[in-house]
Structure 1
Amino acid sequence: MDRGEQLLHASSAGGVLVMPEEEREALLGRIRAFLASRPETARGEFTLPMLTGVMRVRRL
């Protein structure tokens, strides 16, 4: 993914979607600045490893 795709991904998270607009824009600005500051993400595409946790519950 590239920085733009990462910002779209971050902005679609449930907690971000319900933030007040000013707070959301501030968060996305911090993410944008972080991505621009890292050599791994500053230029072009990069790999973003994802970890998914699953919890299984059995009703009694």
Structure 2
Amino acid sequence: MCDAVDNDRTSDPAVRRALAIVLMREVLPLLDDLREDIAANHLQMAIDTVLRGCSPQAAGSC
């Protein structure tokens, strides 16, 4: 799946953003199973940032 995303540089940014969110959400349960709480928290913050549509540097102001 990642190869398809990498090879299609012309795809719509909204589609690529949605795919990134889906992939990140799929990883969250795996991190929970591994008890990687800090990594899971960081990933959740990244998901939240993408959903708000702002950069990580500005996340506190969104």
TM-score, L = length of structure 2: 0.34
The answer to which structure has the higher helix fraction is 2
